Amino acid sequence: MFQYKCLNPISQTGLGLFGEEYKQTEELNDADAILVRSAKMHDMEIPENVKVIARAGAGVNNVPVEQCAENGIVVFNTPGANANGVKELVLAGMLLASRDIVGGIEWVAHEEDKEHIDKLAEKQKKQFAGCEISGKKLGIIGLGAIGAMVANSATHLGMEVYGYDPFISIDAAWNLSRTIKHSKSLDEIYSQCDYITIHVPLTDNTRKMIDKEAFTKMKEGVVLLNFARDLLVDEEALIEALDSGKVKKYVTDFANPLVAGRPGILVTPHLGASTAESEENCAVMAVKEVRDFLENGNIKNSVNFPNCDMGTCIAVGRITICHKNIPNMISQFTKILGSEGLNIADMTNKSRGSYAYTIIDLESAASKEALDELKAIEGVSKVRVIK
Ligand SMILES: NC(=O)c1ccc[n+]([C@@H]2O[C@H](COP(=O)([O-])OP(=O)(O)OC[C@H]3O[C@@H](n4cnc5c(N)ncnc54)[C@H](O)[C@@H]3O)[C@@H](O)[C@H]2O)c1
Ligand SMILES: O=C(O)[C@H](O)COP(=O)(O)O
């Protein structure tokens, strides 16, 4: 029996896939797995019983990913599972920034009791007029799951699309429409584009990447869209750029005291992934990842350990080891298993940065002595018996 704890509401369509071998718990001290959306985990004490954390979504800046790696806790996210939901809101954001749709709707609501509202509307509508997005230049920073979808959809809406992503994945590159211009520098995006949208993860390298200097390079009257994370933009500098007219509109999915209620800024309350479809996709992917990890020891879509998959165990026993990516680890594992008389049927070892993961199938069940010896190796953070 495995137990899981949800730190945020997670779609039942996903949780329903856990099956009878799983039980939901409120006690962190009983949980093998944690499922989370945006709950902040940096100040949480994560007990040793927790083996896996699945972020039902893309951004993992709310999870102490590095500390988890150090402690042998595998962290997953659900790449692409909510990308379409965000893409649709970005397209809506571009349209809302181009025409005063919100102002117009608010005007009608305010004047609803006027008998001649129809005539009044015809007189007043010019104050809500705007421009079309077709024919305008859109710059996309980050061409991952969301950025690539926004790029392709925007070309279908008649926009001229520029994309910038020095680390683009091969999959994302294959999926991009050939009409998208490959920008080799952010300066090209800033100097050319009428609309700029950012779709990169928040890391130490990307924090405040849109800063004062970036604004000086942008076109007069640019529209900036941020459905990634508020801390990617220096919002103090943004407000100066709005006041000077350099930025016409800022559309952001992240409410904070600086942007809420400020003229020229359209703020949604982190709604990008809040669709039934995205919530289900994320929950289903997260639960599948957790199950494959807990039941088979396999890793797919981790953000702190390498992908590592040996399928379902057909040998007598399987153990998994989270460890540091340093020399002499495998030889120590095999030496201990050999000296305990345990024959290895199959084995795989993969590394990612400073961390590595090993799956070992055995022809007989691992003894307590062997497991204790493996756990005692310096650089080993977790040893699990799968079978
Ligand atoms: N508003 C929401 O509800 C919502 C929903 C999903 C994701 N997000 C945010 O959007 C981000 C992107 O999501 P995704 O699913 O597209 O992720 P992704 O990992 O598929 O794509 C991110 C892309 O950014 C690129 N990148 C990284 N650093 C870069 C840099 N300095 N310059 C240019 N490109 C860079 C990567 O190469 C990658 O292609 C997430 O990390 C999350 O913060 C927000
Ligand atoms: O990174 C993400 O996936 C989004 O920001 C969605 O967050 P949410 O799951 O809290 O809506």
Cβ(15) – ligand 2 distance below 6 Å: no
Pull the structure tokens for residue 36.
């989370």
**What are the contacts of 135-138 at 24+ separation with CB within 8 A?**
135/159, 135/160, 136/160, 136/194, 136/195, 137/161, 137/162, 137/192, 137/193, 137/194, 137/195, 138/94, 138/162, 138/193, 138/194, 138/195, 138/196, 138/197
Cβ(82) – ligand 2 distance below 6 Å: yes
Grade residue 77 by pLDDT with cuts at 50, 70 and 90.
very high
Considering the domain boundaries, does residue 20 fall inside one? yes
The whole-chain average pLDDT of the chain stands at: 98
Ligand in closest contact with the CA of 58: 2
Q: What is the mean pLDDT of residues 296-309?
A: 98
Considering the domain boundaries, does residue 114 fall inside one? no
Q: Do 220 and 145 share a structural domain? A: yes
Say how many Å lie between the CA of residue 88 and the centre of ligand 2: 15
Nearest-CA residue for ligand 1 atom 37 is 167
CATH code of the domain containing 370? 3.30.70.260
Q: Do 289 and 159 share a structural domain? A: no
Nearest-atom index, ligand 1, CA of 200: 24
Q: Residues 40-58: pLDDT tens digits?
A: 999 999 999 999 999 999 9
Q: Do 245 and 179 share a structural domain? A: yes
Q: What is the mean pLDDT of residues 258-280?
A: 98
State the Cα–Cα distance between residues 107 and 101, nearest whole angstrom.
10
ipTM of the complex: 0.99
Q: Do 255 and 285 share a structural domain? A: no
Cβ(180)–Cβ(151) below 8 Å: yes
Q: Do 89 and 208 share a structural domain? A: yes
Q: What percent of the chain has pLDDT over 90?
A: 100
Say how many Å lie between the CA of residue 56 and the centre of ligand 2: 8
Q: Do 311 and 253 share a structural domain? A: no
The whole model's pTM is what?
0.97
Say how many Å lie between the CA of residue 64 and the centre of ligand 2: 16
Q: Residues 189-237: pLDDT tens digits?
A: 999 999 999 999 999 999 999 999 999 999 999 999 999 999 999 999 9
Which residues span the domain enclosing 178? Answer: 83-96+131-267
- In this structure, the chain runs to a length of 387
Cβ(163) – ligand 2 distance below 6 Å: no
Considering the domain boundaries, does residue 107 fall inside one? no
Q: Do 247 and 142 share a structural domain? A: yes
Count of structural domains, the chain: 3
